[in-house]
Structures are given as C-alpha cells and as structure tokens.
Structure 1
C-alpha cells in the first residue's frame, strides 16, 4: 500500500516540485490549495511528468470547518507537508495583518484538524529569514533565531515556535522544519516552475520576465550593502534539490528516525551569490543583456544569508547537487516555455 501524504499549497512553486518527487518515490499525494497564487493547470502538468494526477481539494485553510471536512474523508493520511502561505516580503511589510492571519491561522487550523484524527507527522516549509540578520556566517542550525525584518519572516519564526510548543506537550507528534534559503530553477521537463501571479517578488522570475519582455526593467534594491559589490548575497538552491530534501525528511519521520520531536534543518548549497553575480550569470547562460537599474534598498532585506547545510547532509542523507548555471538555465527555459504556452 502506498503511504498517503497531504501537501498543502501543492500547486505552488516548491509544492508542485515536491509533489512530483513524492509520486516518483511511490507516495500517494492529496493536495490542498486555494489557488490564490497558483494554477490548477499544474495538476495536469504533474500528471504529464509522473503519469499520476494527484487528488486535489480546493480549500481555504483559514476556514477550519472546510479543513476538517477534507481531512474527515482522508483519515489515513500518514503525514503532512505544509507549504501553503503568502510569501512576498515587501507585501508583508505593507500588509502585516494579512500575512499573520493567512500564514498562522492556516497552520493552526491544519494542526487542530490533524490532532483530532490522531498522531501528527508534520513537515513545515520554513525559511532562512528566521535567523534575522545573522551575526555569524555561514548559518548553522545553532545560530540563534531572531526577530526577522519582515512580517513574512516573522510568521515563519512564530510558526516554528508553535510547532515546538506543540511537540513538547504531544509526545506522539513529529515535527521537522526545513529552513530554505533561496529556491530558484524549474523541473527539467519545463512543465512546472515559478510563475507568480502579478509582479514577481523574487529575483529570478523578475530577471526572466524582464529578459522575455514582460517587464521593462529589473530593479536592484540597493548597492550599498557591506558586501563585495554592494548588493545583497543569498544562497540559491535548485527547487528540484529542495523537493528531494522533503522526501528525505518524510522518510526520516515515517521510519521513526527523528532524534527529538521537533527538528530543524537548513537547506542550501553553502555558497553565497550577490544580486549582480546572478544577473551576470544569467546574461552569460542566456546570451541576453538585461535592462536593470540600481534603486533604493527594500524594507525587510538583510545583507547576507548563506547556509551551512551539513546537518541535513548527515541526518537526512541529502545534499544539493545542481550548479548555479544549471539553476539559472532551467529558470530561463521554463520562462520561455511557459510564455509560449500562454501567449
């Protein structure tokens, strides 16, 4: 019998790639998604890649009655991977209550609903933003978490605290929080990738949309940071590598290999690249010149974030493998194919 896994936000960018990885590892997947920043067409594309169309429930996780109703008919779920959340840093600064309501109420509702059904195996989609402005690099899991600069980041930190508190009073619960650095790239098929609705908030889709002509120019937010070229440094990880880490974490849970009820792992490459380095690498692999300009800093950004992911390598038996050139090339191929399909 295939083990059944619930994936919230499974039509989204990271969620859809993880669903593919789960199906390819012989799991049965049920997706909950409200499609607020994703598209139901993704389900068909997942089927084209895997030969399997996952079960789908359109559901607003802020509605606990709807959540309970979905789970009532799926009592044999073995684990949940929780992606569903708003994720735009700038928007969260402008609309903090929107983010606190959506990201935290959704989490609480899914936890309450699952507790009523019994034990919890829960993998949480977290973020390196929980480290705030780190005092030491590269960042290990021993780094103290701090108040993040944005409400988005703070929802991730508060969510981790909720999971940790729950793990202390519910001995049967198993929680793993995966702290991502900066996911980019797309599936090699070109069928799924990052396609945000509206103006992109992340660097890579803004670059590819500018290159393909959807955006007039790319804004580089600040060149006066304490970094070699003045632009922020981030640890970029291929989304397919990231998806594989979720499968590893899930197997750790289901095989009862967790060493404590609440575990955290960094997911990154350990390499930091500046915004200008990303732009130059894109221009190299695409053979296109980008139209960009330096503008003022963006609220919520920190100078440098890059990972030490040795713990994930040791405990999850996982390591990021794809190069920066591979990540950027796959993002560009995805953008071209996606626009050809929709225009």
Structure 2
C-alpha cells in the first residue's frame, strides 16, 4: 500500500515514516523543509534499511503537488504539513491562515480529483480551547484562542463537511497532546529552529550547555506544585497511533476524532525531576510570570482511541526523558553536522 505523507520530514512525520516503512508500506513524502531537515529522511532510510520517495515542494503550489498525484497512486494520505507555532501565529495570523488552510484545500481537491478518499489529519488538543476541564474527551465543545488553533479547528470542520458532501471519504482527526522523546536509535528527534517553543528541547539544550537555564512560565497555577500540567506523550507512541488510525480509515468510511495522549498529567517540575533522574543531569531553572493563554492543566481521556483503534501509549515519562537526552547528546547541533 502506498501512503502520501505531507510534512513527512518533520518531528512527528519522520517518526511516522519509520513505523510505516517497518510495517511494509510504500511511503511518498512531500515537504518544503521550512521547519524540517532533509537529513531526517536520510536517517529514516538508514534506520529502516528501506527507501522512500521524496518530493521537495510546497502544498500551496498546486501544479507541483498535482504532479505527485499524476506520478503515483495512493491508498491514503497522512497530512502533517503546516505552520505550527502558537506565538508566531499570533504575530503573523494571515500567513498561518493562508498556509495551513489553503494548503489543505488544495490537497483535498487533488485527493478528490484522483479518487483518494482516506486521510489521517494531524490536529491538536488546542481545539478544546481554554474552558473545558481535563480529562478532555472528543465530544466536548470546541474553540480556539489563537490563529494556529483556529486553523486546526477550521480544517477539522472542512474535513467534516467534505464527508457530509461525499460519504465515501474516511477521515481520522488526531488530536495530539504534547509529544516529546525521540527514536531509540538516537538518530532522529526534535530539532527546533532557533529558541525552542517546546519544553523538552529547551531542557535538553540546557543539559548540554547550549542554554544557561530553563525559564518556567507560571508558578501559581492550581496544580500540585504550581506549574502547568500537560499530557506528555512519547513521539514513537504517537507515530504508532497514526498507523492504527491509518488501518481504521482504510477499512471504514466516516469522520472520527481521536485523542492521542497518555491520559496522565505531569507538571513542568515533574518533567524536570524525571529528566534529572533519567539522565543524571542537573537542570537549573527560574520561575517567571505566566504566558497569556496558558491553562492550569490539559490532559487527555484516551479511552476512545483504545476502544476503537486498539491504541494505547506505552512509554513512561522517564523513557521520554531518556530518549530525548540520547538524541540531544548524539546530535548537539540537531541535524546540522558541525
């Protein structure tokens, strides 16, 4: 079976490529390398000892993307591609709306034209907004409080409407929580551009000496230690969730949303403590003011994914910390060989 992966060179995409190749799928990746590195896919092929096909292109370029559909026959699409920084989306909202939504519209139009009706979409827990209480279930009312989250919410609605218009489509909306960790080989992992937006790459950069200390935003939340609580999930568990969702969309029609999380909330200080225990590295930190828009706690109820997809996150927070550190230690400058 042949699977098109948009944004397949990114952090979650590259780990999903490994799981797909190891499971016998043919993988075709399209990526513009705006937030990813070509080297990640070289390493995916080395780890799996299998080849994938790569097209360097932007989803906004309809002609280039259509050539991919002309040259290949796909059984399904896994759609990762999109701009992904909450803070940046607030600063440049028009770019986020144009890129994420227009790119998805072009992709879906070409899927329709070339009779590909199965898609797994990379959504986000941001679609639950700020007012729902954790644990979060898929049937809660949805909202968004930043342009990035709004694009995820809008694309979910677009895909629901696509199914309403044509019931032959099969769509899985995967709502991620907080992916961390790296492949056990230490060969691929999270390689952010510039200052990391996410907690774990910041911690690992402090541990390796690239940054002096960790700044923890907020110490007065209504949590057991005052720092924000989130549902951290190992990126390999997350990647395996995509395979389960893919198997489901290949054998059904309809549109379903699934939380991909552990169902357990850990605070920022819990993560720091587990990292120190797993690696023996001390992480100096300071407590500073909250960021606007951050909630006290956000974690999943993953019951639906277990029941309908047969998927459960298996790796512990200690596993996530240990694997994140192995990646950073082996690749102090990410994919840049210096």
Residue 98 of structure 1, aligned match among 85, 95, 110? 95
Structure 1: gaps (5+ residues): none
Determine the structure 2 residue equivalent to 1:204: 200
CA offset at residue 95 of structure 1? 1.7
CA deviations on 1:127-183 (whole Å, 9 max, x unpaired) are 11100114332111121112x222111111111011111110012111110111110
Task: Give 1:115's aligned residue.
Answer: 112
Asked if 1:66 corresponds to 2:64, the answer is yes
Q: How does 1:1-343 map to 2 (within 5 A)?
A: 3-74=1-72, 76-146=73-143, 148-256=144-252, 258=253, 261-339=254-332, 342-343=337-338
Larger deviation: 152-161 or 284-293?
284-293
Mapped partners of 1:174, 1:272: distance in 2:
31
Instruction: After TM superposition, give the deviation of residue 5 of structure 1 in Å.
Output: 0.1
CA RMSD in angstroms comes to 1.3
Helix, strand or coil at the partner of 1:339: coil
Contact 2:74 2:116 in 1 (8 A): no
Mapped partners of 2:80, 2:172: distance in 1: 13
Q: Does structure 2 retain, via aligned residues, the 8 Å contact 1:9–1:83?
A: yes
Distance 2:91 2:276 in 1: 32
Give 1:98 deviation, angstroms.
1.8
CA distance in 2, matches of 1:300, 1:152: 13
Deviation track 1:59-88 (CA, whole Å, cap 9, x = no partner) reads 1111222211222211x1010000011111
CA contact 1:176–1:264 (8 Å) conserved in 2? yes
Partners in 2 of 1:68 and 1:180 — Cα distance?
Answer: 29
TM-score by length of 1: 0.95
Instruction: Supply the distance in 2 between the matched residues of 1:131 and 1:252 (Cα, whole angstroms).
Output: 24
- Give the C-alpha shift of residue 216 in structure 1: 2.4
Tell me how far apart the structure 2 counterparts of residues 10 and 209 of structure 1 sit (CA, whole Å): 24
What are the ranges of 5 or more consecutive residues in structure 2 without an aligned counterpart? none
Q: TM-score, normalised by structure 2?
A: 0.96
CA offset at residue 327 of structure 1? Answer: 0.6
Q: Distance in 1 between matches of 2:123 and 2:255?
A: 13
Residues 246-302 of structure 1: CA deviation (Å, up to 9, x unaligned): 11111112123x5xx111000111100011111111122121221221222223322
Task: Return the alpha-carbon distance in structure 2 between the equivalents of residues 178 and 62 of structure 1.
Answer: 23
Alignment: residue pair count: 336
Distance 2:122 2:27 in 1: 17
Question: Aligned equivalents of 1:48 and 1:21: distance in 2?
Answer: 13
CA contact (8 A) 1:79 1:122 kept: yes
